[in-house]
A and B are shown apart, each in its own frame.
Chain A
């Protein structure tokens, strides 16, 4: 079942992330993708994540698709390309058969390995979703010019329910859904009640039946990672006090195990929230952990193990 079909069928869905390598070969990324085979339904191919130069997300997504290991979700940020290049790459993705797209503003270049780069941000993430939907449904560019043929896309967006202004976040998500987002992945969920409030607001706005929400889940693997995430230096990530207390209450060598337990609890908890379609695992670089984490969370993948993705 493809990602689109699985979400349409209301099956609990798991996505993850792979960041392409800094090098002119996708081989290393494909061997990491192997570790996820059967355990996740689709995988994000990040677009120069953190403003660090990597192999491009369209090439990475094409390589993953061609490998047949897993279904790719091609990420596209607004940081590096103007509307001409973005639309051109959308057509390119369509031609390569890459259907799942995920749009975001992107980290500012200041945080990356080329801080002197020109920040483009010609379109914002809502406008980019809107552009992709218009291209698919109306077969038109922003200019109004027709394209032939129009691409087939399944459109995704992201939201951070925990960043200020919190009261606006559901409405902002609804804008992206109005623009065309069919699935949405969130930033790390550590604060389940706050996430549930955001979900309830989406319900009140009446958008949950047109967009599948995947809750972002990450594992804090060490005291060092906890310090880093809690420092406030990672854009948009907050680790609530109770979670910090719990992780600091165990011996340093046990932080990883406790972190995995917390993540598994979050997965089990968000599953109970009406409207949650699945989880998005923010565990890039630690793909080996994924099976254990899903087992711990009681997510049954037995039907999928050993299966190649369909719909290719």
Chain B
């Protein structure tokens, strides 16, 4: 019988555990992660730097590789190319075996264990704790839009600085007026 399991999409890297989503305990403390957020914000300097990197294919490749290596170690990054970390307590939702971007499933064990990998903690339990510790729990009320699977393997930082990440999540909890689903706002 032939194997019908899909291979990784072109250009997608093997994460620390291969392409399979497995909960990863962030190696960077919540406090440092939120400090890093200030540095990485798409300000004038970052935008200009990003544009410069994107001008050369080689620079882009090098930058993407550096991002991959560092985020793999720190957050178990799988390079989805559309980073949700800034609003998930810097606990990566793509490590959830169901890749849930809007919060934990109903199967989390009493002690916070992942349903699929009981020896790991649910990425959303970890994310909620980390976000709460930094006063950012309300970020978890934003609605996350569907992932664009064409972006796998791309540098999320370059996408972020170039504004290609705009609209990944809603600006608030979406309760005041119906949130718009597509990025075609």
Chain B facing A: main interface SS? loop
Chain B: which residue is nearest A177 at the CB level? Answer: B175
Do B181 and A126 touch across chains, with their CB atoms under 8 A apart?
Answer: no
Chain B residues with CB under 8 Å of A118's CB are: 4-6
Tell which of B101, B112, B124, B175 touches A206, judged by Cβ atoms closer than 8 Å: B175
Q: Contact size class for A?
A: 35 or more
Determine if B145 is an interface residue (Cβ-Cβ < 8 Å). yes
Tell which of B110, B124, B145, B181 touches A238, judged by Cβ atoms closer than 8 Å: B110
Do B103 and A168 touch across chains, with their CB atoms under 8 A apart?
Answer: yes
Q: Shortest Cβ distance from B35 into chain A, in angstroms?
A: 24
Interface size on B (CB < 8 Å)? 44
**Bound Cα distance A174, B176 (Å):** 12
Do A165 and B99 touch across chains, with their CB atoms under 8 A apart?
Answer: no
Known A108-B97, A164-B112, A164-B125; judge A235-B146 contact (CB<8 A).
no
Chain A: which residue is nearest B109 at the CB level? Answer: A232
**Bound Cα distance A238, B146 (Å):** 31
- Interface flags for B160-185 (1: CB within 8 Å of A; 0: not) read 00000000000001110011011010
**Bound Cα distance A308, B9 (Å):** 51
User: 15 new A-B pairs (CB below 8 Å) besides A178-B174, A238-B110?
Assistant: A105-B98, A107-B107, A108-B97, A108-B98, A110-B97, A119-B98, A121-B99, A133-B178, A142-B146, A160-B108, A163-B104, A172-B103, A175-B103, A179-B174, A236-B106
B residues apposed to A, CB below 8 Å? 4-6, 97-112, 115-116, 122, 124-125, 128-129, 132, 137, 140-141, 143-147, 149, 173-175, 178-179, 181-182, 184
Please give me the 8 A-B residue pairs with the lowest Cβ-Cβ distance, nearest first: A235-B107, A160-B106, A178-B174, A126-B102, A172-B103, A236-B106, A165-B128, A163-B108
A residues apposed to B, CB below 8 Å? 78-79, 83, 104-108, 110, 116, 118-119, 121-127, 130-131, 133-134, 137, 140, 142-144, 158-160, 163-165, 167-168, 171-172, 174-175, 177-180, 187, 205-207, 232, 235-236, 238
